[in-house]
Each structure stands twice: as C-alpha cells, then as structure tokens.
Amino acid sequence: MITSVLSDYYRDTVVPQLKEKRGYKNPMEIPKLVKIVINTGVGTDKDREVMTAAVETLGLITGQKPVITKSRVNVSNFKLRKGMAVGASVTLRRGVMYNFLYRLINIVLPRVRDFRGISPKSFDGVGNYNFGLTDQSVFTEIDLDKIKHTIGMNITIVTTAKTDDEARDLLTLLGMPFATSNNN
C-alpha cells in the first residue's frame, strides 16, 4: 500500500477541521477524495507521433499506463470515424492519487507562468472540481529537451462532497491554491 504525506495530513488534520467547521456527526459524512482523472485529447490519430507522445507524457507524469480513448461516433467534418484514437486518460486512486495531488499543489502549480491561483468557480454542482493545464512542461518528470508537441490536459478531482462548498472547503484545507475573487 502506498502511503502519502497528504493522505496522513488529511486523516490527522483535515478531518478534524472539517468535522468542527461543518458539524458532521457521522465520520462517513466527511468529504474525501475518490479519484483524480487526467485526460488529454490529441484529435484524430492521423499523426501517430502526437498520440505516442501524449501516452508517454501521461505515463511519466502519473506513473501509470494511460488508456487510449477512442471516438464513439463518426464526424465527417473532422474526418473522424468511430473507433479512432482521439486521446489518452489515466485514473488515479488511493495513495497514488494523494501523491499526485501533493506534487500538483506544491510543485507543479507554482511552476505555471503568471500563476495567481486556480479558479474557484470550476466546480460541477455536486462537489467535483475540473481544471486544465495548457502545457506539460510544468511537470518535473518531463525532460524539456525531448518535448516535440505541446500537450494540454484536463484534471478532474472527484470527491464525496454533496455540495460545491463542502468540496471547496476540503480542497482548500488540502492546500489547493484558489484565486481570490478580485484576480479572476
């Protein structure tokens, strides 16, 4: 079992703070992280080099082999056929998820150019948070000399929170750097 500094911090510090702030009676009510999904789209599979680079990049960043996502429908305007590879996705859970989130908060996001925090408005209404990164070069695992294609990615943090406010409190206590309202 993989242990993480952030999972220990969640158990020892965040849970008591959430319990006190929100007045949870049952420990199962307290919001927690379920999974983190990292997804990237590269378009059609005409250029296999871009798809290979995306798969290798996600593999380096997460430490897991990505799943290649395929198109579900035909779209003639994009010359896209059902079953063509259009992206890659990785789902992280448990200790690996906490390790990734720790690196994301403390190493990756501060390396983003002109970073002033992530938007506090990107919640989906049921306690999940989505945001995107436009460049993979902010990850320390990537060798900048070997980058041929810029690959952006969408990161989804799935929680057990019932409302956006509960999820915002959870992520704030975990150290997520939300932007203040005057910087949006």
CATH number at residue 151: 3.30.1440.10
84 lies in a domain?
Answer: yes
pLDDT value at position 183? 47
Q: 88-121: buried (b, 16+ CB within 10 Å) or exposed (e) per residue?
A: bbbbbeeebbbbbbbbbbeebbeeeeeeeebebe
Across 30-44, 71-85, 88-102, 113-127, least confident range: 71-85
| Pairing mode of beta strands 33-41, 67-70 | unpaired
54 lies in a domain?
Answer: yes
pLDDT value at position 158? 93
Q: With pLDDT > 90 as the criterion, what percentage of the chain qualifies?
A: 14
Classify residue 6 by burial, with Cβ atoms within 10 Å: 0-12, 13-18, 19+.
buried
C-alpha 92, offset from chain centre: 9
Q: With pLDDT > 70 as the criterion, what percentage of the chain qualifies?
A: 90
pTM metric for this prediction? 0.83
The residue range of the domain holding 136 is 5-176
How many domains are contained in the chain?
A: 1
Name which residue leads in pLDDT, 149 or 97.
Answer: 97
183 lies in a domain?
Answer: no
184 lies in a domain?
Answer: no
**Cβ distance 87 to 39 under 8 Å?**
yes
